[in-house]
Amino acid sequence: MSYLDFQIRDLGQLYEEMEKRLANVLEKWLDQADPNLPTILTAHASVEGAVYGGERSVLLGKDFVLPKSMVTDPRLDYVALGHVHKAQNLNEGNHPAVIYSGSIERVDFGEVKDDKFSVVVDVEKGQTEIDRRKLEEIRPFHDRFLELSSQKDITAQVISALPAPEVMKDAVVRLVMEYPRAWAPLIDEGTIQDYALDAFEFHFVKRPQMDERVRLPHDQTVGDLSPAELLEKF
């Protein structure tokens, strides 16, 4: 903004202006490109229509998002994109291929179920062949959830909800646990952390729940109730 001396303060107008300038730059590059050679565009950016891990779509909003039309120009022979971690082709079945190869490792729990790939591409003018190769030896993520319904031996319940130590070894593990707030002193977090010691990373997310309070009917007050009735409601 400083370099271009923009006086715009509205984010939408700013992005619109940036998009126009980028489109002009890209058009200039394509005009200068040798038409006899394959033309490859690389970009580290969000492109409209891309899907993040966890099936979140890239939509127009706060982030600066390139319009899909900018990367599907038929004069391009291959578009290699970075930034979005989920592997995908934004122009499936059409030319040019617009490829997010994706990250080679899972980086958060939104990607727990995502396969990861490397991409080998043979690019010729007007024709591109893509070989997606699934990466097998990547760090596993394990995501578990536990809702405590009994305060009996809570630590054993937690450990039984986790994978075996050999499964957790060098993996990223998260356990989300919901429990009544009053049971918090019964949780032996040290023993649980020791059990997950060989994990590459262990996230123990505790979500204490407050008991819902009993509300008196609108036509009833505390003074209307006997001590025994009050005790029962308590």
Reported as a single tens digit per residue, the pLDDT across 55-71 is: 565 554 567 889 999 99
Whole-angstrom Cα Rg for the chain:
28
Pair (16, 91) in one structural domain: yes
Pair (148, 36) in one structural domain: no
Rounded Cα distance, 117 and 62, in Å: 29
The C-alpha angle 228, 232, 234, rounded to 5 degrees, equals: 115
Pair (126, 147) in one structural domain: no
Pair (149, 93) in one structural domain: no
Pair (159, 197) in one structural domain: yes
Pair (21, 128) in one structural domain: yes
Residue span of the structural domain in which 112 resides: 11-134
Pair (128, 53) in one structural domain: yes
Specify the pairing of strand 46-47 against strand 141-147.
unpaired
Pair (127, 20) in one structural domain: yes
CATH of the domain at 88: 3.60.21.10
Which of 143, 122, 118 is CA-nearest to residue 132?
Answer: 118
pTM for the whole structure: 0.71
Question: Does residue 223 form part of some domain?
Answer: no
The percent of residues above 90 in pLDDT, for the chain, comes to 65
Question: Does residue 107 form part of some domain?
Answer: yes
Question: Does residue 226 form part of some domain?
Answer: no
- Render pLDDT for 86-134 as a digit per residue (tens, 0 to 9): 999 999 999 999 999 999 998 888 888 888 999 999 999 988 999 999 9
Question: Does residue 84 form part of some domain?
Answer: yes
pLDDT reported for residue 212: 60
Pair (125, 59) in one structural domain: yes
Pair (69, 174) in one structural domain: no
Q: How far is CA 148 from CA 112, 115, 151, 207, in A?
A: 24, 32, 7, 11
- Render pLDDT for 6-52 as a digit per residue (tens, 0 to 9): 777 777 788 888 889 899 999 999 999 999 999 999 999 999 999 88
Question: Does residue 82 form part of some domain?
Answer: yes
Pair (115, 15) in one structural domain: yes
* CB 48, CB 68: distance < 8 Å: yes
What does the H/E/C string look like for the chain?
Answer: CCCCCCCCCCHHHHHHHHHHHHHHHHHHHHHHCCCCCCCEEEEECEECCCECHHHCECCCCCCCEECHHHHCCCCCCEEEEECCCCCEECCCCCCCEEEECCCCCCCCHHHCCCCCEEEEEEEECCEEEEEEEECCCCCCEEEEEEECCCCCCHHHHHHHHCCCHHHHECCEEEEEEEEEHHHHHHCCHHHHHHHCCCECEEEEEEEEECCCCCCCCCCCCHHHCCHHHHHHHC
Domain boundary among 109, 134, 159: 134
Question: Does residue 1 form part of some domain?
Answer: no
Average pLDDT of the chain is 88
Length of the chain in terms of residues written:
234
Question: Does residue 124 form part of some domain?
Answer: yes
Domain boundary among 107, 134, 161: 134
Question: Does residue 172 form part of some domain?
Answer: yes
Q: How many domains does the chain have?
A: 2
Pair (117, 152) in one structural domain: no
Residues 6+ apart with CB under 8 A from 89: 97, 98, 99, 130
